[in-house]
Amino acid sequence: MAQQNLHQILQQASKRIHEAQAAMRGAQGSNEILLEEALQLLLQGEQQLEHARQQGGTEATENPQFQQAFEQLHDTRHQLHEAKQNNHDL
């Protein structure tokens, strides 16, 4: 896989994850619409990471940018789950 293409895919994945984090922060409290938007952005980021993994294989998964985005994806997914659970508990 061309290094430039991998870099672009990983940048897009990271961007979606950051957008999901921002939407989630804005939603904390009780905004289900923003939480759903955050989930959709997170899923897009996850799809882009999966695309990078399929296209780049080991080159992609050993890339520090991939690893950082992957960790952020899982951290954000956990936070989103907690935020949704807190909203349902209200």
The tokens of 80 are what?
Answer: 């989103």
Reply yes or no on whether the pLDDT at 28 is more than 70: no
Q: Which residues of 1-31 are buried (b: 16+ CB within 10 A; e: fewer)?
A: eeeeebeebbebbbebbebbbebbeebeeeb
Tell me which residue range forms the domain holding 60. Answer: 3-89
The tokens of 9 are what?
Answer: 């895919």
**52-76 pLDDT tens trace:** 999 999 999 999 999 999 999 999 9
The Cα diameter of the chain in Å comes to 49
Q: What confidence score (pLDDT) does residue 33 get? A: 86
Number of independent structural domains in the chain? 1
The tokens of 36 are what?
Answer: 């759903």
Q: What confidence score (pLDDT) does residue 84 get? A: 80
Q: What confidence score (pLDDT) does residue 25 get? A: 83
**36-54 pLDDT tens trace:** 888 999 999 999 999 999 9
The tokens of 47 are what?
Answer: 């799809």
**Are 36 and 87 within 8 A, CB to CB?**
no
